Amino acid sequence: MSEDLKGKVALITGANKGIGYEIARQLGSRGATVLVGARDIGRGEEAANKLRSNQIDARTIQLDVIDQKTIDSASKQIESEFGKLDILVNNAGIASDGDRLPPSQVDIETLRHTYETNVFGVFAVIKTLLPLLKKSKAGRIVNLSSGLGSLTQNSDPNYEFANAKSLAYNSSKTAVNAITVLLAAELKDTSIKVNAADPGFTATDLNQHRGYRTVEQGAIAAVRLATLPDDGSSGGYFDENGVVPW
């Protein structure tokens, strides 16, 4: 096991499965202590046990991004046990069946429900944990976005996923990108870097495993952004091949 992240503490939301679990595994295999954020403590502990069986220092933290009480509790737990947070990966996200309709026919409640997790949840976690990230010598915030959040790509009729016009999901990821840019600007004079990662069309529960990329591939961009050097970018939008157009 590589130990280039030894002493680092990383929290990944929605880490009990899929891309979140794989990000935790890759960061943990490089020596980081990984905090498996999960709504269901049992599923989180099951994932953490699996990571520990691979000699990874993994702990479970109950965290539901739409429940501020659990976010506050997680923050207190991290402060008590570690006194800081080095890496925050906002991976938890949802997609709704009601979002498969043409944009004008999507129910407003579908939009609200999606934003509650994908946008407000991301902001709530960042806002609450930012004081702990500021205690790190080199804090890293990675927001899991999607190529579907790109306005440039959504406007391009030749885009690979030009027909995937899910109003709630796509626009929620556009909002995540905006949060990323604005927060990075606020923190530009600190050691914290904030970036958005596009994992690509990865086979997960979110898309009923229709994606053609593996979770190992889907985690590449996020792990790279979570481990940026001091002179790395901030306020950017990247997939594993480089910059994604806004």
Residue 198 near residue 176 (C-beta atoms within 8 A):
no
Token output for 136: 């790190």
Cβ atoms < 10 Å from Cβ of 207: 12
Token output for 139: 């804090």
Residue 20 near residue 217 (C-beta atoms within 8 A):
no
| For helices 167-186 and 122-133, angle between their N-to-C axes, nearest 10 degrees | 20
Number of alpha carbons in the 13 Å side-chain half-sphere of residue 234 = 20
Element of type H or E holding 195: strand 193-197
Catalytic pick from 8, 21, 169, 237?
A: 169
Single-letter code of the amino acid located at 108: I
Helix (H, G, I), strand (E, B) or coil at 121: helix
Catalytic pick from 8, 84, 159, 173?
A: 173
> Is 173 among the residues known to form the active site?
yes
> Is 135 among the residues known to form the active site?
no
- Of 91, 112, 113, 110, nearest to 100 by C-alpha is 110
* Catalytic residue numbers, as ranges: 169, 173
